[in-house]
Structure 1
Amino acid sequence: MTDSHPPAVLPRYVYKLISPASDFNPKDKVLPLSALDKADGFYHLSTKEQAPGTANRFFPGSRFSDLLVLKIDYQGIAPLVKWETAKGEHPTDQSRIFPHVYGDLLQQHIVFPISMMWQPNLGSWDFTEGWEDRQ
């Protein structure tokens, strides 16, 4: 993953998914890397449109009891972001190109955390309209 393919219109916010939510400490200056982030050498982020798919694919309620989504100011981290195709994916559209942060992701760029609720009747996290503004 070396080529950067930013979207034509950059987002105002990007999102970092964390589970368990207890792994997030708002007092940390730098957001710790998850095991996957450490293995890949960057922070995995998603756009607003990508977050529901990422959550339901990688954080299923059958394995994770809670999910925290960090809303991050894109402009503050833009110099550290590379837009890259997901592993094993062949880009057919922008939905498969994800923002990855190379370097430290500072807490100062987090707008606020969003606690997500699992919907057992639907088998998915609650990403109903307006989810990105819940606090």
Structure 2
Amino acid sequence: MSHSLAPAVAPEFVYKLISPAASFIPSDRVLPLSALDKADGFYHLSTSAQVPGTANRFFPGSKFGDLLILKIRFAGIEPLVKWEAAKGEHPKDASRIFPHVYGDLLQEHVVGTILMNWIPEEAAWDFAAGWEDRLQQ
């Protein structure tokens, strides 16, 4: 793990955003790589604080019909994670440092899912307070 960019306290959970939701098949042993993951050579993940921004920036409802969020226990994947800035960025704060998984992300690491709702009036996904509590176990 890249310790220079890693947070001082590891998160309990990290999140993988998937669209379309139908591309997530719970019986698959290894989670599929998105087109962006394949191009970059790793799985893109986010911390809970980063999820709303990532969702609304990279998965706009005008382009994506649905959005599934996978909740992943960090301890199970920690050896595969490198904390890195988004491509081309040199952030001054930790909010722009993301967990990236190099290696296989296994179904056994997923501990919950949530299918997000798009709010057309707000042009944003529904990240009302407590969105993590809506995760299905």
**TM, length-normalised to structure 1:** 0.96
Whether 2:19 is the aligned partner of 1:19: answer yes
1:1-135 equivalences under 5 Å are: 5-134=5-134, 135=136
| Contact 1:4–1:82 (CA under 8 A) maintained in structure 2 | no
Secondary structure of the residue aligned to 1:26 is coil
Q: Match of 1:61, as an amino acid?
A: G
Unaligned runs of 5+ in 2: none
In the TM superposition, what is the alpha-carbon distance from 1:131 to its structure 2 partner? 0.8
Q: Match of 1:52, as an amino acid?
A: P
In the TM superposition, what is the alpha-carbon distance from 1:91 to its structure 2 partner? 1.4
Task: Note the aligned Cα RMSD (angstroms).
Answer: 1.2
Q: Following the alignment from structure 1 to structure 2, what is the Cα–Cα distance between the partners of residues 6 and 125?
A: 28
Tell me how many residue pairs correspond in the alignment.
134
| Contact 1:3–1:84 (CA under 8 A) maintained in structure 2 | no
Q: Match of 2:42, as an amino acid?
A: F
Q: Which runs of 4+ in 1 moved over 4 A?
A: none
Of 2-11 and 122-131, deviating more is 2-11
- Give the percent of matched residue pairs that are identical in Structure 1 and Structure 2: 72
Unaligned runs of 5+ in 1: none
